[in-house]
A = this chain, B = another copy of it.
């Protein structure tokens, strides 16, 4: 016999044998006195949808609501998308609860909407598989609101994408820059630098620049990006004044240049080799363990540089993460605190002034 629920003060109470039927055996709601339970609207909607509840009576007006009427009321912020995600995870064999007391005793932090329990576990077992945040595809996300956990985006046609959000501290073992050559002859062109006859290892071992048309010469002429050239000039490796190159970088790229230089510098200092990520629509791709360009291997990360105050659009996130996945790389966002790029050089503190976040697609 299907039960009825009673909507009162934002929760749906169900009596009868609801505790045993819905809570204890299937992880819905939280227990009240006796056999009664309280359900979040999204839980109640799911039971209604499945026919496990027959109707919900609105305690205020006495109206009797079926699934359609209950949905049309949209009881709560983002109710439509929350219901879709709730139903999707249920259909994948997970139990989940609102990330709040009293549904679970210790809710995860970070603005989570749901706590998803490991398969086979429920709200009483004290384990959480994912802390889930849910947004529609048109909801922007300030970078400052990124949290470890799962970001769930529901698109306009109600398809759901799950992203695993985590901290990512890039590090590598590439040849250190302790002994760069000094004062190589170089010319600043419009938006790049040509280095004439540098020692072969500048390219071969450290992977700076790009040889001019093939590598048929012993000491190939190298073209460097303005970021590479500023970094090298700051370390005395080029005949150019670093300030001149940096100014040119700012002219052609605007304020992005200092942020990109800050990230480039930290990556190099951490033993990675950053090269342009242009073909992937990113700022850099990185190689963690370069000893020779003849044996480069695969670049592991795509780095997108943003100011700390950046606001992500879910559509761009989808594009970036999808592309990275397609080329077997991990998308990492480098969020640069303005202080760290003010002077064009990083001022290393514990965090380098840069927060690193990875986003990867997840199939729950």
Mark A308-342 against chain B: 1 for CB-CB distance below 8 A, else 0.
00000001101110110011000000000000000
List B contacts of A74 (CB < 8 A): 189-190
Q: Give, as a whole number of angstroms, the nearest-CB distance from A120 to chain B.
A: 21
List B contacts of A72 (CB < 8 A): 187, 189, 194
Q: Give, as a whole number of angstroms, the nearest-CB distance from A247 to chain B.
A: 16
Interface segment out of the listed A109-117, A144-152, A165-173, A273-281: A273-281
Question: Any chain B CB within 8 A of the CB of A91?
Answer: yes
Interface residues of A in 47-72 (CB under 8 A from B): 49, 68, 71-72
Question: Any chain B CB within 8 A of the CB of A157?
Answer: yes
Interface residues of A in 218-249 (CB under 8 A from B): 223-228
Interface segment out of the listed A4-12, A34-42, A209-217: A209-217
Please, how many residues of chain A have a CB less than 8 angstroms from a CB on the other chain?
A: 56
Q: Give, as a whole number of angstroms, the nearest-CB distance from A22 to chain B.
A: 18
Mark A149-160 against chain B: 1 for CB-CB distance below 8 A, else 0.
000000111110
A80 CA / B223 CA spacing, docked (Å): 10
Q: Give, as a whole number of angstroms, the nearest-CB distance from A363 to chain B.
A: 13
- Indicate if the CB atoms of A281 and B189 lie closer than 8 Å: no
- Indicate if the CB atoms of A319 and B280 lie closer than 8 Å: yes
Question: Any chain B CB within 8 A of the CB of A253?
Answer: yes
